[in-house]
Amino acid sequence: MENSKAILKVPGTMEIRPAEMPVLRDEDVLIKVEYVGICGSDVHGFESGPFIPPKDPNQEIGLGHECAGTVVGIGSKVKKFQIGDKVNIEPGVPCGKCRFCLEGKYNICPDVDFMATQPNYKGALTKYLSHPESFTYKLPDNMDTMEGALVEPAAVGIHAALLAGVTPGKKIVILGAGCIGLMTLQACKTMGAAEIVVVDVLKKRLEMAKKLGAMEVIDSSEADTVTECKRILGELGADIVFETAGVQVTAKLTPQIVMRGGKIMIVGTIPGETPIDFLKINREVSIQTVFRYANCYPTTIEAISSGKFDVKSMVTNIYGYEEVQKAFEESINNKKDIIKGVIKIAD
Residue 50: cis peptide before it, omega within 30 degrees of 0: no
Separation of alpha carbons 114 and 116, rounded Å = 7
Residue 328 · residue 42 · CB < 8 Å = yes
Q: What residues does 195 pair with on adjacent strands?
A: 171
Which uninterrupted H or E stretch holds 64?
Answer: none
Burial 247-266 (b: 16+ CB within 10 A, else e): beebbebbbbbbbeebbbbb
Q: Which of 254, 260, 33, 31 is nearest to 146 (CA)?
A: 33
DSSP 269-321: ---S-----GGGTTTT-EEEE--S-SS-HHHHHHHHHTTSS--GGGEEEEEEG
pTM above 0.85, yes or no: yes
* Residue 80 Cα distances to 76, 135, 336, 345, angstroms: 12, 11, 42, 25
65 contacts 59 by C-beta, under 8 angstroms: no
Q: Quick one: pLDDT at residue 51?
A: 84
Integer CA distances (angstroms), 34 to 88, 173, 188, in order: 10, 35, 29
Q: What are the per-10-residue average pLDDT scores of the chain (347 residues)?
A: 96 97 97 97 94 89 98 98 98 98 98 94 97 98 98 98 98 98 98 98 98 98 97 98 96 96 96 88 96 98 97 97 98 96 93
End-to-end CA distance of the chain: 15
Q: Are 271 and 201 in contact (CB under 8 A)?
A: no
Domains and CATH numbers, the chain: 3-150+311-344 (3.90.180.10), 154-289 (3.40.50.720)
Angle at the Cα of 35 from the Cα atoms of 28 and 243, rounded to 5 degrees:
100
Give the pLDDT of residue 21: 97
Question: Within 13 Å of residue 261, how many CA atoms lie on the same side as its CB?
Answer: 3
pLDDT of amino acid 344: 98
Per-residue pLDDT at 205: 98
What pLDDT is attached to residue 275? 87
pLDDT of residue 287: 97
CA angle 132, 302, 288 (to 5 degrees): 80
Q: State the CB neighbour count (10 A cutoff) for residue 51.
A: 13
Residue 82 has phi, psi (to 5 degrees) of -130, 160
Q: 100-136: buried (b, 16+ CB within 10 Å) or exposed (e) per residue?
A: bbeeeebbbbeebbbbbbbeebbbbbbbbbbbbbebb
